[in-house]
Chains A and B, each alone.
Chain A
Amino acid sequence: MRVPVSWVREHADLPESATSEDLAARLTALGLKLEALERPAEAITGPLVVGRVLTMEPEPQKNGKTINWCTVDVGDANGTGEPQGIVCGAHNFAPGDLVVVILPGGVLPGNFAISARKTYGHVSAGMICSGAELGLSAESDGIVVLPADAGEPGQEAFGVLGLDDDVIELEINPDRAYALSVRGVARDAALAYDVDFRDPCDRDVPPADDAGWPVRIEDPSGCPVFAARLVSGLDPTATTPEFVARRLAQAGMRPISLPVDVTNYVMLETGRPIHGYDADKLTGTVGVRRANAGETLTTLDGTRRTLSTEDLVVVDDSGLIGLGGVMGGEDTEMSGTTTRVLVESAHWDPVSMFRTGRRHKITSEAGKRNERGVDPTICEAAADRVVELLVAYGGATAEPGVTVVGTPPPREPVTMAADLPARVSGIEIPARRTVQTLRDQGFVVEEQGPDVVATPPQWRPDVTDPFDLVEEVVRVVGYDAVPSVLPTPGAGRGLTRSQRLRRRVGRTLAGAGAVEVVSFPFVGDASLDALGLDADDDRRRTIRLANPLSAQEPAYTTTLLPGLLRAAARNLGRGATGVTLFETGSVVRGGSSPTPILGVESRPSELELKELLAGVPDQPLHLGLVVAGERERAGWWGAGTSPDGWAGWADAIALVRRLGDELGVPLTTRAAVLAPWHPGRCAEVLAGTGESAVVLGHAGELHPRVCDAHDLPRRSAAVEIDLDALLALAPERVVGPELSSFPMAKEDVALVVDVSVTAAEVEAALREGAGELLESVRLFDVYTGAQVPDGKKSLAFALRFRAPDRTLTEAETGAARDAAVALAAERCGAVQR
């Protein structure tokens, strides 16, 4: 809402000394938030005065232009009283005209300082100003020629031009619809300064009679009040008075024609949207009803609309003539030839307005007010004000007869404990202050014992609850008065286990050189195709958005990899030689099911709540990780990890296994085939062993086609696991080890097995075979080549033995080693080299 300060002052007796800034600050403190303060005079420094052109001599110049050498009477403003000599390039004026002159020493917008200067053979002492030069219009259409009665030469011109009128732009919240009017803003301004308010709707209105235009309301709940007035003899050539045009422009509305401008002016002034019909285009009784299914109406924006049975329509004997409260019909629109105007000032049901506006995607100044709630008691006053202006400026005659159908529904009183504002705000507010504050705002207040019974004024449809009254009291007492007191909750339980574990996950991965990223969780077919997912892959079972940001990514993501791979490629594209990135985020796989819309009067039943919570799809937290380019940098120490032959897959697995170790969940791997990984270099990541092993996710090298599709170097690697599942396995309490300080015995064995036998199988056999004395087993070499037969490989393991209570003998360790090798031979066909 943009309001000129002069208009506010017309209705609130603000002190002369109140600045626009102060007014804006006080309105903001009351809940009408300052969005912008426009000060058109700010960019201009005087002297800026009215001048009368005395003489003008056209002087053609060599460059083809003709300039005018003028003398201008600027009164005593130049200190001498002598005419001022000024060169002017414009031609849209004549001697005797009143113009706007800026004298030397003045500054125009753009920091354009004016001085007496020599030009075209004269000393030009000032400038005759155009609208553009004064910042009043975007384009210059010559200098400003003032009306003959605008002022006297030498008079200060700021006021004459309206440059001294600041415009305050306020952000109006939905509960303060009353402030979508000068009436409402001025009322709060008066409240802020504790001065008198003059209500523009407080006027003598002729009483309703039966002589007015016939109106029939078939849906009084949708349209409780309908007032109508008729004017005739309107002069179609009458122009909008300057003050109306200026204020509309200040409010951000475009002047159109006198009758349209007047209805808009009254809407801004009172908050009540008004519609004017060309009465000569109306037939018979005007009615209001709900539309019939399939009815159509062409609204005055030229759009043909098919209506819903919930839409309120205005009709006459010929059919539909308007979408009530939202937009008029094209057939009965006022035009340049309109001489008779039927003024409609009606009150509409806000919910119906909101739904109709949304259904037909119409946002209008009228709709904005009607859907938030307008004072239903000012229909007659607003109509009368329109009639007054059309008579005064359009030469029209007010026809006798005043139609008013319906009465405003009464306001329900709200009962509140008198000390509630004090209890809720923490400010000491005596009951009498509460009562007075509400009365100052137009509430009718009765004190009943410990309670205050307040009937809200009709312009406050939002106030229905005791806590609404509290806000109205506290905003006047002042939010600044709220003291600052820390509450004292009891002992808290701290972070949950999952929250603490997630911090460990991040620190562990960052400690291992991975950088966390945050991506948008949206996905589309193209990104899933780029991962090479099969048509029936679970990760294609997305939940789609009805209104996605981008048609390419219309669904909530099922995997963190698209965002990670994109971020990795972006880093490499920006010059990084290698990155390790990770992200944790929720994913959703599979479809969704309905959730109920429950009541809000009380808590849902346990059954309802269960159904509600069960309907929300599972959104497990995933961990994704990508390793691309150098993981270890090249440098003076030697080569880094190069894309060729580099075991990125191992780095990826190492990172996730390190995470498992950190969380106390040893992770193992098993060969698997799954997109987007390389089919020969993909591991299932498992927690636990044997039958009870749980697959947490996958890790390994990305398929070469996936690397190519994402502009990543071949052999880039990735991980994605269900982090919630991993965290659930982390032991609550780790049991401390008993450390033996007896000497360790080492035994290395090299075992030849078929290439198809995995290191993990051999290791498991060694571990089991070696028995209790084994402390650790670690594979330290893999060899294929001349020393072993084709189709075989040699795996070298270091076995370490230690007893808790004694130094082992050679015989003991030898026996344990032999048992280990024997089991490996039995299980895996291993032959010791």
Chain B
Amino acid sequence: MSGPNSDFDPVEVAVLQPEAVDAAREAALAAIEAAGDPEELKAVRTAHAGDRSPLALANREIGALPPQARKEAGQRVGKARGAVEQALGRRAAVLEAEHEERMLAVETVDVTLPTDRHPAGARHPLTTGAELIADVFVAMGWEVAEGPVIEAEWLNFDALNLGPDHPARTMQDTFWTEPASDHLVLRTQTSPVQARTMLTRTPPIYVVSPGRVFRTDEYDATHSPVFHQVEGLAIDRGISMAHLKGTLDHFATAMFGEGITTRFRPSYFPFTEPSAEVDLVCFVCRGTGTDPERDGTVTCRTCKGEGWIEWGGCGVVNPRVLRACGVDDTEFTGFAFGMGIDRSLMFRHGIADMRDLFEGDVRFATTFGSEL
């Protein structure tokens, strides 16, 4: 601590006079207020709060005062400097906010500009549709079985109770491969997958087999020589048509919505006995037969007024098939069903022309995205 300055004449330290300190403070505050941007404020800070600013110089002179005067002068200068620092801080915040606001305004863009720099991809609805169906069954504890599309004639026909002279063989116009002695076909149904499953696994069996099938059909808006089927097979003790009905009702509801159930009509398939055609409640008119968009007098176009839509075929697995595939038909019964995936998607999504599925036009698949 320095000793008292005996030469000191307090009257002569002008910068510490209250008027002088006040004046310096007022000048500083005025300059701060007048600063229009952060740069100016920086200069103001140097001039009025820097090392060589009047208040800094005044502060330095405090030591020159006699001890009894120092306290008062110190307080006076300290208050003034505090006020200046506060004002600087406030002004800086204001100026920064203003600056940011200006910058953000300048950076404004038109958010309605197109953003399609990277075109969207999509999966095909036939793929995602098959997955949707698979998920419905997997959720019930079923599994998904698959098999080759070029298939042994025996698995596609004979094992399924379609012997060489069975009239049903002419119902399905089959693509055969050459040479004929190889006995290979492009599978006409996914049923050979069922045969393979029965031949290689032991019951209980609950499998669905979605996949591509082939028939020598014309190619038009509602037919295709290449199409897709999902078949189901359940083999267990005590299986009946009631279980078939329950499964298809659940499937229909999961695919087409609440209230869409099924009905059976007697039919014929070599691999099932009894056999049935399965119809769906028309999910457009919900079975009323009239167009719901109109006043109830116009026939529903989807079901042509019948209130039902043909969905597929089904039945109780013919014991002859069980025997050929090594399932003990005295212990087990089974049911099987099959429907077109393409056709189901056409109903579900109002697709008018089947050929749209096979043309590869990206506008088609991108409408559906990557899940159905």
Contacts and interface: CB of A to CB of B under 8 A. Distances in A.
Residue of A351, A372, A471, A633 ringed by the most chain B CB atoms within 10 A:
A471
A482 B357 contact: no
A503 B252 CA distance: 23
A134 B357 CA distance: 44
Contacts of B155: 612
A513 to B, nearest CB: 4
A715 B362 CA distance: 20
B140 interface: yes
Contacts of A482: 241-242, 244-245, 264
Interface string B236-251: 1011111111110110
A487 interface: yes
Contacts of A521: 149, 212, 226
A393 interface: no
A488 B333 CA distance: 14
A6 interface: no
A176 B268 CA distance: 9
B78 interface: no
B124 interface: yes
Nearest to B152: A595
A102 interface: no
Given A475-B266, A600-B324, A603-B326, A492 B142 contact: yes
Nearest to B318: A467
A510 B122 contact: yes
A474 B274 CA distance: 8
Interface in A458-511: 465-468, 470-471, 474-475, 479-480, 482-496, 499, 503, 506-507, 509-511
B184 to A, nearest CB: 6
Given A424-B333, A514-B121, A515-B122, A471 B204 contact: no
B182 A594 contact: yes
A603 B199 contact: yes
Given A484-B246, A516-B122, A603 B325 contact: yes
A293 interface: no
Interface string A556-591: 100000011011101100101011110000101000
A617 interface: yes
Interface residues of A, number: 111
A487 B134 contact: no
A616 B148 contact: yes
Contact of B243 (A426, A518, A581): A426
B151 A616 contact: yes
B86 interface: no
Nearest to B250: A486
Interface in B262-283: 263-268, 273-277
Given A487-B234, A581-B362, A600-B163, A424 B241 contact: yes
A581 B366 CA distance: 11
A518 B357 contact: yes
A717 B23 CA distance: 80
Contacts of A487: 206, 234, 236, 239, 243, 246-247
Contacts of A28: 265
Contacts of A597: 153-154, 158, 183
B29 to A, nearest CB: 47
Interface residues of B, number: 103
Contact of A567 (B117, B175, B186, B360): B360
A486 B140 contact: yes
Nearest to B249: A484
A549 B204 CA distance: 40
B124 A517 contact: yes
Residue of A173, A371, A588, A636 ringed by the most chain B CB atoms within 10 A:
A173
A433 interface: no
A159 interface: no
Contacts of A488: 141
Interface string A672-702: 0000000000000000000000000000000
Interface string A740-771: 00000000000000000000000000000000
A239 interface: no
Interface stretch (A76-84, A340-348, A383-391, A538-546): A538-546
A492 B143 contact: yes
B266 A517 contact: no
Given A467-B319, A490-B204, A426 B240 contact: yes
Interface stretch (B7-15, B44-52, B165-173): B165-173
B294 interface: no
A566 to B, nearest CB: 8
Interface stretch (A29-37, A704-712, A772-780): A29-37
A592 B177 contact: yes
Residue of B119, B267, B361 ringed by the most chain A CB atoms within 10 A:
B119
A615 interface: yes
Contact of B149 (A467, A568, A586, A600): A586
A340 to B, nearest CB: 36
B102 interface: no
A495 B170 CA distance: 36
Interface in B327-372: 333, 357-362, 365-366, 369-370
B63 interface: no
Contacts, number: 309
Contact of A616 (B152, B316, B362): B152
B149 to A, nearest CB: 6
Contacts of A503: 131
A483 B247 CA distance: 11
A564 to B, nearest CB: 8
Contacts of A490: 141, 204
Contact of B134 (A30, A495, A506, A636): A495
A511 B184 CA distance: 38
Contacts of B268: 31, 173-176
B115 to A, nearest CB: 8
A23 B319 CA distance: 33
B165 A494 contact: no
Contacts of A580: 119, 121
B170 A358 contact: yes
A647 to B, nearest CB: 16
Interface in A508-555: 509-521, 543-549
Given A484-B246, A548-B175, A576 B167 contact: no
Nearest to A373: B167
A483 B126 contact: no
A424 B359 contact: no
Given A494-B138, A592-B182, A423 B240 contact: yes
A499 B144 contact: yes
B263 A601 contact: no
Contact of A483 (B171, B245, B324, B369): B245
Contacts of B71: none
Contacts of A544: 177-178
Interface of B: 113-114, 116-124, 126-127, 131, 134, 138, 140-144, 146, 148-155, 158-159, 161, 163, 165, 167-168, 170-171, 175-178, 180-184, 186, 196, 199, 204, 206, 212, 216, 219, 225-226, 234, 236, 238-247, 249-250, 261, 263-268, 273-277, 316, 318-320, 323-326, 333, 357-362, 365-366, 369-370
18 contacts: A28-B265, A30-B266, A425-B240, A425-B241, A480-B263, A482-B264, A483-B245, A484-B249, A489-B234, A494-B138, A513-B121, A516-B127, A518-B357, A519-B360, A544-B177, A546-B176, A595-B182, A602-B324
Given A570-B359, A616-B148, A616-B150, 8 more contacts: A425-B241, A426-B241, A471-B274, A516-B365, A520-B358, A571-B361, A581-B362, A601-B324
Interface of A: 28-31, 33, 173-176, 351, 354-355, 358, 371-372, 423-427, 465-468, 470-471, 474-475, 479-480, 482-496, 499, 503, 506-507, 509-521, 543-549, 556, 563-564, 566-568, 570-571, 574, 576, 578-581, 586, 588, 592-604, 609, 612-613, 615-617, 619, 632-633, 635-637, 640
- Give the top 7 A-B pairs by smallest Cβ distance, nearest first: A426-B242, A567-B360, A603-B326, A31-B266, A173-B268, A471-B274, A517-B360
